[in-house]
Amino acid sequence: MDQLKNYINGEWKSSSSTQNLSVHNPATQELIAKVPYGPDTAKDVNKVIEYAHQAYLEWKDIPAMKRVQPLFKMKTLLENHKEEIAKLITSECGKTYTESLGEIQRAIENIEVACGTYVMNQSEFSENIASGIDEFMIRQPLGVCVCITPFNFPGMIPFWFLPYAIATGNSFILKSSEKVPTTMQYVFDLIHNNIDLPKGILNLVHGGKESVDAMLQHPDVKAVSFVGSTNVAKYIYSEGAKYGKRVQAQGGAKNPIVIMPDADIEMTTKIITDSVYGCAGQRCLAASLVITIGDDKNYKEALVEAAKSRKVGYGMEAGIEMGPVISKESKTRIEELIQKGLSEGANFLVDGTQKKVSGYENGHFLYPSILENIPLGKEFISTEIFGPVMSLLNFKSLEDSIQFINSGRYGNMACIFTQDGLSARKFRNEAMAGNIGINVGVAAPVAQFPFSGWKDSFFGDLHAQGRHGIEFYTQTKVVIERWPKNWSRTF
C-alpha cells in the first residue's frame, strides 16, 4: 500500500518523510492507509506555506462574489458524493453509517452559510462624522491560515473552518488527524478534479507534532484553528500566541445533563442515551454526567434498560447504534478510567467492558456503561472520558446541580430536561457553558451560530462557524477620509 500524498499548490506530491503510521479500520482491523509521519513532515509544511502565501497575495484581491463561487460547487460536490464520504468516515473512524451521513450534512450546512460571506462581511460606513469627513471600517483577509483537526469528525470539522477562510480571501492548509486521513484525502481529490480553484489556495498536509510546530512557528502563518484535547489546545494557543498568530483552540469537555422530576421519562431517556452513546461517546458534545434531581428511581431504571439494549457492532451493518472507539490505546485508556472510578468508590449499574462483538473480536469495542455513587472531587468525576460511559449523579435541588456544574473546569455544553419554564430559564442564565440545551441532548449549534465553549473547553475569542468564522479570518481596517469641496494647496 502506497503512502498517502500531500496536496500542495494544486498537485498531489509525495511527502519528504519515508516514515509512516498505519491506519486501521477500528472495527475490522483492516489496513486502510499509510500516512506520512515523523520529523521530515515539517519540510512539507514549510514548502506548502510558501506556495499558500503566494496564492493568498492574488486571491485576496479577487472580488468576494467571485471567491464564493467555488463554494457553491463544493456544496453540490459533497451532496453528490455524501454516501461515499460517509463510508470512508465509518471505515476509519468507527461511527455508524447513519452518524457519518449526519456528519457530512453538517459540513454541507457550513458551506451554505459561508456562501453568504460577501453579505456578512460588508463594510460599516458613517458619513459626515465631521464637516466633510467620512469614516468607515472594512474587513480584509489575514493571509495563510492553518487548521488542525481531530479524529472524531473527519468530514465535518474541517468545514467549520475551510469555507470561511477561503471565502474571506485567505489561503488554507489542513492537517487532518493522522488517525483518520482518508476522508479528507478523498474530499480534496474530488475538489481537485471538479472545482477550478487557484493553485495554492487549498492545501492538505500530513504528520504529527512536527508538522504542527512548523505551522505554529512559521512567520507567514497568520491564523491557527484547532479542535482536540484541552492539553493540546492549551499548547496550540500558547505557542500560537507566542509567535503572534490568531488562534481558536477547542478543547475537551465533561458535559452535564440535568433531569428535573417533571421531565418526560420516555423522551428524556431516549435523547440522553443518544447523547451519551452516540459516536461511542467520542464527541465534544457527548453527555458524560447525568444528574437527577430528587427521587431518581424511575429515571435510573429507564436509563439502565436503554443502555443495555443499545446495539453495538460494525457501523456499516444495518441496525447498529454504536460502533467501536478509535483505537486500542483509546479503549485501554477508557477502561483504566472506569477502574479508577471504581477504585474511588463508584459502582456499576451497567458494565460495558470485557465484551466482544461476534465476527469482530479484534475490534476496539466497548459497550455502554453506567456508573453511580461517584465521589465528588476525585479524578474520575473531573476527567474527560471520551467514550461510552455515563456517570449518574443525584442532587437534592436544581441550585445544587448548577453549583456543581459551575465548579468544574470545562464549559462546553450543559443541558436540562424539564417541563417548567422557570427552571429552564434559571438553568439557561446560570449554567456556565457556551452551548446550552433545553430538552436537547446534544446542543450543537447550526452553522450560522458559533460553536461556543467556555473555561477549559475553549481558548481564544472567536469560535468556529458563522459570523465568528468570518470575523476570525479577517482583520478590521478603519478609514477616515476628507474630500473638501473647495480643495486648495499652498506651495
- The confidence score (pLDDT) of residue 296 equals 84
pTM of the model: 0.95
6-251+457-479, which class in CATH?
A: alpha beta
How far apart are the C-alpha atoms of 52 and 222, rounded to whole Å?
12
Please list the residues that pair with 255 across neighbouring strands.
Answer: 287
Q: How far is CA 479 from CA 135, 137, 474, in A?
A: 6, 6, 16
- The confidence score (pLDDT) of residue 487 equals 59
Segments of the chain assigned to CATH 3.40.309.10:
255-438
How far apart are the C-alpha atoms of 277 and 306, rounded to whole Å?
10
User: Looking at the annotation, which residues are catalytic?
Assistant: 284
Query: For the domain bounded by 255-438, which CATH number is listed?
Result: 3.40.309.10
How far apart are the C-alpha atoms of 92 and 80, rounded to whole Å?
21
Question: What would the grid cell of residue 18 be?
Answer: 519515508
- The confidence score (pLDDT) of residue 282 equals 98
Segments of the chain assigned to CATH 3.40.605.10:
6-251+457-479
Question: What would the grid cell of residue 15 be?
Answer: 511527502
The b-or-e profile of 337-373 (16+ CB within 10 A means b, else e) is bbeebeeeebeebbebeeeebeebeebbbbbbbbbbe
- The confidence score (pLDDT) of residue 486 equals 65
- The confidence score (pLDDT) of residue 132 equals 81
- The confidence score (pLDDT) of residue 491 equals 42
Please list the residues that pair with 371 across neighbouring strands.
Answer: 348, 391
Q: Mean pLDDT in each 10-residue stretch from start to end of the chain (491 residues)?
A: 95 96 97 96 97 98 95 98 98 98 98 87 74 88 98 98 97 97 98 97 97 98 98 98 97 98 97 98 97 93 97 97 98 98 97 96 98 95 97 97 98 98 98 98 96 96 95 94 68 42
Half-sphere exposure of 396 (CA within 13 A, CB side): 0
- The confidence score (pLDDT) of residue 489 equals 54
Q: Which residues contact 98 (CB under 8 A, 6 or more apart)?
A: none
- The confidence score (pLDDT) of residue 119 equals 73
- The confidence score (pLDDT) of residue 86 equals 98
How far apart are the C-alpha atoms of 429 and 414, rounded to whole Å?
11
Burial of 383 (0-12, 13-18, 19+ CB in 10 A): middle
pLDDT digits (tens, 9 = 90+) for 159-193: 999 999 999 999 999 999 999 999 999 999 999 99
Handedness of CA 312, 313, 315, 320 (dihedral sign): negative
Q: 3-class SS at 289?
A: strand
Handedness of CA 165, 166, 168, 170 (dihedral sign): positive
How far apart are the C-alpha atoms of 369 and 352, rounded to whole Å?
5
